[in-house]
Structure 1
């Protein structure tokens, strides 16, 4: 059972729906959620909210440790949930919850489903679509990026778009989260109440870093193709992606960068010779699972995660010039999109994933985000279509995929 001091319950301790319901309701404006595999980490309430700059990793880690120590009380299981923005000159948001519980994913899903079933769900009409980067703008940026490759200034850059969807009624966030859990069985589900009275939620397929004592794991993704309901076409697309020189090169760029960053801190680093295929509800990705044994088991997860972030999978290579060109080409800041989200404890363990396949929900508006890795062989039109496919995760959860398609005809 839970205590008022924030005791973590191990998976299975809350083993049935009746026990889950005894904890009350899930409140999107004050509860944090991070789902990994079949395990659900849930933070109830906000004990302490704080911001930290991320430009200096040593400062970030030391201040975070101090905050966790200050709010530890007599609990050994104090945890901070957090989200780091894409821009290194902005600040990360952290929340130390009043209580923390670890549940089976199936139990949390049932618990949330009962809450959404008890509310009257009404169709929420899509009234407006506003692109912060429309198709012409996006395709022009891809063409401009290809000129940078021709000049030898970059090997890869990740370009993105943001779109704001306006609705007739306030968005039922719990219903959207329930849809994400139902429609996307794999991936890392998350929900985080931001300081701007919005909720950042989604289901990321990409693990930046997991640390448990001396063991670290990462699962970078780069190279994608949309899924298809026809099994024959699906097989053709899997084969096309795996054998695509363009996508294999895009993936190799990311893996090489991860190797350079992790090899110095690991005495044993395992990286498969070639990628595998990973699927979500809407996409296929080239995927490589990297694992390592840390030389120093006391290394804090954000010591590494903040150095890895942003990876070439979200930014480009070389990272610094790619980062600057992103700011120039996109014309809008990404804020929390393509940042990293996760949690860490007072021992420096934790789990962080990239902020993709997600949206920021506030009142009547959902702001969605999607990006694509651009290399010399990229086609501007194809890359736009890839970003459209990546939006489907949130469009389906918002129940507006068909309306969105009609709006854009």
Structure 2
């Protein structure tokens, strides 16, 4: 009897179940699922002010070498950090499996990780974050800064090893319309310990398929409510909010400015629409284009767009300076980009938000909020709290969470 081929849905689910921390790259989008294993070649690390700008050519060289060596999977996968002078983590895997989108049975409950006792240390403390927002608002009053994204982190320590494959499954099931990912990070900076970048981003930085490109920036947010009427009221208020519409317009203008030199056609919506996750409402604009030059890769576009004002601010240099001055931690790969690019230039890159950096028993979670004129420190703090919920709910945190101050 001939064995029936596996359905795309079952194959996607199998790829998710097959993920192993420390030896895999997983990336699921609304249309496809990827699982890469092993390392055929590593893109050499490069530091310096032009490290980010030189990344596409270095990746292209490694992909071409892989193809010439007879490797039949010339695709680079990995992550780019927030700070462009810090090396990216990208490899050409030994194997790569592709499937359609992940589809979950709505009647099947989300399986939480085994309960563990955690201690949680906020960095900075909430009061210090409020002070940081106030500092940013003063900078806007006295200079040319129009927007800056200020973030917080939560340092979680567990009493038992963290089940990262289960956490990844929970994130994927809770965020089917987003970009769920798990990426191995360099071990050198962690004293040889295995580290994983894991999360479920709602935001596409850019994708390329042939000559067609798409960017989908999100800017302007509101927390969801468990009450359906209140939830719809929050969505309607967000769509009319002058502060959030201004924040969104700043981002869209910058994204269009970065994409236009590469495109012979660019379709920009007249105004934003609403998209939602389980925890947040967002203002969204889908910007579609057609490349003028087929040699422009998805990674070239990602580098041109990174970092967008949605995660950094505007003007970029002034916002970056403010972040360096105000935030009391190194973002690492948070607010960078994660994804893949093949030897033909096609690929997808998501903005690295709603995520954590994890090792065996600790996680460092991140969340940020866009500060513009009219922002209120207490509201921005509340927005970061809401954004933390994506990771916290997937971890099953509740009664056993112990917060240190």
Pair 1:206-2:203 in alignment: yes
User: Normalised by the size of structure 1, how large is the TM-score?
Assistant: 0.89
- Selected match of 1:261 from 258, 261, 267: 258
User: Hey, what does 1:142 align to over in structure 2?
Assistant: 133
- Which of 241, 246, 249 aligns to 2:246? It is 249
State the shift of 1:375 in Å: 0.4
Distance 2:122 2:101 in 1: 34
Of the three residues 3, 10, 24, the one matched with 1:31 is 24
Mean Cα displacement is larger for which, 60-69 or 305-314? 60-69
Matches within 5 A, 1:248-397: 248-397=245-394
Q: Deviations over 1:311-352 (max 9, x none)?
A: 100000001111011001102110100110000001111110
* Equivalent in the alignment of 1:100: 96
**Displacement of 1:75:** 4.4
Matched residue, 2:42:
49
For normalisation by structure 2, the TM-score amounts to 0.90
For residue 71 of structure 1, the aligned residue among 66, 76, 88 is: 66
| SS of residue in 1 equivalent to 2:99 | strand
Match for residue 8 of structure 1?
Answer: none
The question of whether the paired residues in 1 share the 8 Å contact of 2:338 and 2:352 is answered with: yes
2:163 pairs with 163, 166, 172, which one?
172
Q: How far has the Cα of 1:122 moved from its partner?
A: 3.5
CA deviations over 1:83-105 (Å, ceiling 9, x no partner): 11001211100121110010133
Which of residues 214, 218, 221 is equivalent to 2:218?
Answer: 221
CA contact (8 A) 2:15 2:97 kept: no
CA distance in 2, matches of 1:311, 1:366: 25
Specify the alignment match of 1:91 in structure 2.
87
Aligned-pair CA distance for 1:407: 3.7
* Displacement after TM superposition at 1:16 (Å): 7.1
Give the Cα separation in 1 of the matches to 2:264 and 2:16.
44
- Look up the SS of the partner of 1:140 in the other structure: helix
Q: CA deviation at 1:238?
A: 0.5
Structure 1 pair 159–87 and aligned structure 2 pair: CA distance change class (3 A)? same
Equivalent residue number for residue 54 of structure 2: 59
Computed over aligned residues only, the root mean square deviation of the Cα atoms, in angstroms, reads 2.5
Conserved? CA contact 2:154–2:365, under 8 Å: yes
Partner of 1:391: helix, strand, or coil?
A: helix
C-alpha separation between the residues in 2 aligned to 1:278 and 1:18? 28
Residues 129-175 of structure 1: CA distance to partner in whole angstroms, max 9, x if unpaired? 11221111111010011111111320000000111111110101111
Q: How many residues align?
A: 389
**Aligned residue for 2:181?**
190
Contact 2:43–2:58 under 8 Å retained in 1: no
Contact 2:73 2:93 in 1 (8 A): no
Contact in 2 for aligned 1:31/1:46 (Cα 8 Å):
no
Give the Å deviation of 1:262.
1.3
Does the 8 Å contact 1:14/1:104 carry over to 2? no
Residues 155 and 353 from structure 1, CA distance in 2 versus in 1: closer, same or farther, beyond 3 angstroms? same
CA distance in 1, matches of 2:272, 2:137: 25
- Find the aligned partners of 1:23 and 1:283 in 2 and give their Cα distance: 25
Gaps of 5+ in 1: 1-11
Corresponding residue of 1:123? 115
Question: What 5-or-longer segments of structure 2 have no aligned partner?
Answer: 188-193
Q: Which residue pairs with 1:81 in the alignment?
A: 77
- Whole-Å separation in 1 of the counterparts to 2:297 and 2:240: 38
Sort the Cα spacing of 1:17 and 1:284 in 2 relative to 1 into closer, same or farther, 3 A: closer
Is the alpha carbon distance of 1:302 and 1:211 closer, same or farther for their aligned partners in structure 2, counting shifts above 3 Å?
same
Instruction: Report the CA distance shift for 1:44/1:260 in structure 2 as closer, same or farther (over 3 A).
Output: same
Q: Does the residue aligned with 2:45 lie in a helix, a strand or coil?
A: strand
- State the 1:190 CA deviation: 0.6
